[in-house]
Amino acid sequence: MSIFSRWREGLSRTSKAAFGQIASILGATEITDETWDDLEATLIQADLGIETTSSILDALKRLTRTEGWTRSGELFSALKQELRSRLIVPPIIDFGIKPTVILVVGVNGSGKTTTIAKLSSLYVNAGKKLLLGAADTFRAAAVDQLQVWGDRLNVEVIAGAPESDPGAVAFSAVQAGVAREVDIVMVDTAGRLHTRFNLMEELKKVNRVVGKAFPGAPHQVWLVLDATTGQNALQQARSFKDAVNVTGVILTKLDSSARGGMAFAIQRELGLPILFAGLGEKPEDLTPFDPDAFVDGILADQ
């Protein structure tokens, strides 16, 4: 399947539900106040966020004036371009430092553990030597899940006893990664509710401790967000950003979400690139974020 059709399939709920009205709004009618009102409502309902929606509308109104457009159909390709220009091209991840230490953070249920498994298979297949740290010591199931993936991919997993100190597990994992000369150490962290002060304090500690095991680490902090949780995910992201230096977002469950528009809000309101997107449950469904395929996918139904 080509990249574009894969994204179209993954985003079909979003393109039908959230953006499904675009075709009728931008039908071959005259541009009226109603056109702008309907477009605004659609973009807000798609979870683009108020700021992004206003800036897109302002840009389209300006273009309409300067280009002298009168028919609403003329707006479609401009809308596509405006959407595309608001997405950050994900930076190329630098694995120059050996080991590159990646902390993976996010609340329980966001898809953090399966995402780590999917990323592991991606990097192992790309020829990287990997080590996993199972520092979500509060959830035996998460540790077991990582062990199973580790065995399957022949990747060493460092885990502690249940309820043991997550910082100690993270420390051992990074130390082991340095000793074994792996390319990447990926550390799973606890994800009890973000509003719990303890979780954020614990994350800060894991972050510090990892830097003691290997100065300069962590080199990446990836925040896993569930696309189906809409504005709530933004709120979570703000809390995580306050606690640790988040370098990028992994947006999971885009296939289950009808409001993929939140990808725009994340980038605009948090200034964070989306590195990967989850378009399904299978390992190959975690895919590097592709702004062109994303915009094509959300507007595919038009």
Would you tell me which residues interact with ligand GDP (CB under 6 A)? 106, 108-114, 142, 191, 252-253, 255-256, 278, 280-281, 285
The 3-state DSSP class for residue 133 equals strand
Nearer to ligand GDP, 81 or 256 (CB): 256
Of 82 and 226, nearer to ligand GDP (C-beta) is 226
Distance CA 11, CA 34 (A): 27
- Beta-carbon contacts of residue 84 (< 8 Å; ≥ 6 apart): 291, 292, 295
Nearest to 118 by CA among 2, 273, 277: 277
CB of 117 vs ligand GDP, minimal distance in Å:
8
Pick the closer one to ligand GDP by CB: 207 or 287. Answer: 287
Q: What is the 8-class DSSP label of residue 49?
A: -
Helix/strand/coil for 187: strand
CA distance 302 to 298: 9
Q: Which is nearer to ligand GDP, 142 or 170 (CB)?
A: 142
- Given a contact cutoff of 8 angstroms between Cβ atoms, the answer to whether 85 and 291 are in contact is no
Looking at beta carbons only, is 236 or 252 nearer to ligand GDP? 252
Closest residue to ligand GDP, judged by C-beta, is 278
Taking the complex as a whole, the smallest distance from the CB of residue 221 to ligand GDP amounts, in Å, to 16
* Cβ proximity to ligand GDP, 79 vs 248, nearer residue: 248
Report, in Å, the least distance between residue 43 CB and ligand GDP. 24
Across the strands, what pairs with 157?
A: 132
Q: What is the nearest approach in angstroms of ligand GDP to the Cβ of residue 282? A: 9
Q: Which is nearer to ligand GDP, 59 or 122 (CB)?
A: 122
Which residue's CB is nearer to ligand GDP, number 111 or number 218? Answer: 111
Shortest spacing between CB 114 and ligand GDP, in angstroms = 3
Q: What are phi and psi of 212, to 5 degrees?
A: -75, -35
Q: Which amino acid is it at 103?
A: L
What's the rounded Cα separation, in Å, for the pair 227 and 253? 6
57 in Cβ contact with 41 (< 8 Å): no
- Residue 229: DSSP 8-state: G
In whole angstroms, the minimum distance from the beta carbon of 181 to ligand GDP comes to 28
Let me know: does 79 contact 56? Beta carbons within 8 Å: yes
Q: Which amino acid would we find at residue 28? A: A
Shortest separation between residue 67's beta carbon and ligand GDP, angstroms? 39
Radius of gyration of the chain (CA): 21
Distance, CA of 260 to CA of 19 (rounded, Å): 9
Rounded to whole angstroms, the Cα distance separating 24 from 63 reads 20
We find the least distance from the C-beta atom of residue 138 to ligand GDP, in angstroms, to be 11
